Amino acid sequence: MLVSIIILAILSIVLGFTTWNTMRKLEKYEDTVQNQQIYVERIASLIEDSSKRLREVDANGHFSSDDEVGFFFSNLKAIQETLDEYNLR
C-alpha cells in the first residue's frame, strides 16, 4: 500500500511538472503568434495604403510618358499588383 502511494505521489509530481512546462511553452508560442499577427496586419495596411496612393498617382498618367521613369513606374505597379494579390488572401 505504501509503495503504491509513493508511486502515485511521484507520478503526480511528474505530471504536474510536465503540465506546467507545456503550459509555459504554449503561452510563449501564443505571444509569438500574436506578435506575428500584429506585424502581418501592419504590412497589410501598408500594402493597402500604398496601393491607393499608387492608383492616385497613376490616375494622372504623367509617369507613363517618360521612358526611364515610365519603366520604373511600370515595374513599381507590377510589384504593387503582386502585393495586392497577397493582401487579398
The rounded Cα 84 to chain-centroid distance in angstroms is: 16
Greatest CA span in the chain, whole angstroms?
93
| Listed range (19-33, 50-64, 68-82) with the worst mean pLDDT | 50-64
How many Cβ atoms are within 10 Å of 24's Cβ, its own excluded?
A: 9
What is the value of pTM for the model shown? Answer: 0.61
Contact 88/44 with Cβ under 8 angstroms? no
Tens of pLDDT, residue by residue over 8-55, are 999 999 999 999 999 999 999 999 999 999 988 888 888 888 878 877
pLDDT at res. 70: 73
